[in-house]
Amino acid sequence: MALLFLAATLPFIARTGTYPLAVVDGNSMYPNLKNGDLVFFTAPSAPIQNGSIIVFVQQRSGVPAFDSVLQQVVIHRVIGTGLEPNGVTYYQTKGDNNEAPDPFVTDAPNVLGVPAVVVPYAGFPVIFAKSSYGMVTIVAFVSLWFFTGIDSKLEENEEKKRFIAVFARQALNGAISAGQFERLKLAVDYYDEMPIELLRDPTILSTVDWLKGGGLSRGWKEESQACPACGSEGVSVIAGDKTLFVCPRCSERGSTRGSVSSFY
């Protein structure tokens, strides 16, 4: 939370009209700034003089807050100043490692700030993400995450259908009522949103508890078992070391006499 708060307040700390982070891409300022360095810049606290390093864009995006994101950012040293015919100050710049000055001048409004803190090599992930290999990697990871999520959801839905089918067979054979089946089906469909402490039916409570314990993802199996309370045939759904036992006959009286339904 502290890091998120700091990230959100960086423009206020830097007093800049755009997000105050830039990545050095290239060696034009070597050895003072190296490829991959992450630069935190701030608004100039005094008039920019010859010899100052400035962070600027050649063209503004029209949305100052996004200039450092949408436009190519340059970090070079000022080697001369002058005035445009309209009275706007401009700067002649040059990379410390370049033989010649930049073939353009930069008007004062295009200056984003001056470097305040440099974090060596911290910008390499950004450089990689902007490269063709980085773009392919990002697309591959996003696609993998997306399709994995779809596969997981489909698999979960199939397991829900298979689990509901256990009770559907009992309802069709007359072992449980249609009303009890509908309650169990609702429990399976919405168990993620059901607070256990608000459930009263012991069968539904045990079923939701078993589902929340990850029963559907454990390769569960169904077995018949005699009910210890009434002797009628019940159903055990076993998932690893977790077992859900439901007695259809006792579950019909669950709200008044307590059904034989357990999760262990």
pLDDT attached to residue 207: 86
Q: Count up the domains in the chain and report the number.
A: 2
Residue 140, domain member (yes or no) = no
- Copy the structure tokens of residue 176: 């449980």
Q: Looking at the structure, do residues 185 and 227 belong to the same domain, yes or no?
A: yes
Classify residue 219: in a domain, yes or no. yes
CATH number at residue 14: 2.10.109.10
Whether 8 and 126 map to the same domain: the answer is yes
**E strands, 147-232, where?**
221-226
Please state the rounded mean pLDDT for residues 46-72.
Answer: 83
pLDDT tens digit string along 174-212?
877 888 888 888 888 888 888 887 788 888 888 888 888
- If one counts every other C-beta atom within 10 angstroms of the C-beta of residue 175, the result is 20
Q: What share of the chain is helix, strand, coil (3-state, %, to 5)?
A: 40, 25, 35
Question: What does pTM read for this prediction?
Answer: 0.54
Query: How would you class 192 by CB atoms within 10 Å of its CB: exposed for 0-12, middle for 13-18, buried for 19 or more?
Result: exposed
Peptide bond into 31 cis (omega under 30): yes
Inter-helix orientation angle 178-189/132-172, to 10° = 170
Whether 243 maps to a domain, the answer reads yes
Span 84-112, average pLDDT: 93
Tell me what pLDDT residue 192 has. 84
pLDDT of residue 12: 87
For residue 257, what pLDDT is reported?
36
Positive or negative, the CA dihedral 87, 88, 92, 96 is positive
Write the pLDDT tens digit of every residue in 25-52. Answer: 999 999 999 999 999 999 998 889 999 9
Judgement on whether residues 8 and 120 belong to the same structural domain of the protein: yes
User: CA–CA separation, 245 vs 264, rounded Å?
Assistant: 9
The structure tokens 């690893």 sit at 240
Tell whether the torsion through CA atoms of 214, 217, 219 and 221 is positive or negative: positive
Residues of the chain with pLDDT > 70, as a percent, come to 92
Dist CA 96 CA 257 (whole Å): 86
Per-residue pLDDT at 218 exceeds 70: no
Quickly state the pLDDT bin for 75 (edges 50, 70, 90).
Answer: very high
Answer whether residue 259 is part of any domain: yes
Q: Is there a domain that residue 110 lies in?
A: yes
Q: Give the pLDDT mean for 147-156.
A: 78
Answer whether residue 102 shows pLDDT above 60: yes
Inside any domain, residue 146: no
Question: What confidence score (pLDDT) does residue 252 get?
Answer: 62
Q: Is the pLDDT of residue 259 over 90?
A: no
Residue 137 within a domain: no
Residues 107 and 209 in one domain: no
Pair (77, 174) in one structural domain: no
The confidence score (pLDDT) of residue 112 equals: 92
Quote the CA–CA distance of 170 and 234 in Å, as a whole number: 10
Query: What pLDDT sits at residue 228?
Result: 76
- Give the pLDDT of residue 258: 36
DSSP secondary-structure letter at 8? H
Measured CA to CA, the distance from residue 82 to residue 260 in angstroms comes to 90
- Is 143 contained in some domain? no
Whole-number Cα distances in Å, 133 to 82, 119, 146: 42, 24, 20
The answer to whether residue 256 scores a pLDDT higher than 60 is: no
Residue predicted with more confidence, 190 or 233: 190
The residue range of the domain holding 11 is 2-130
Residues 126 and 9 in one domain: yes
CB 204 within 8 A of CB 184: yes
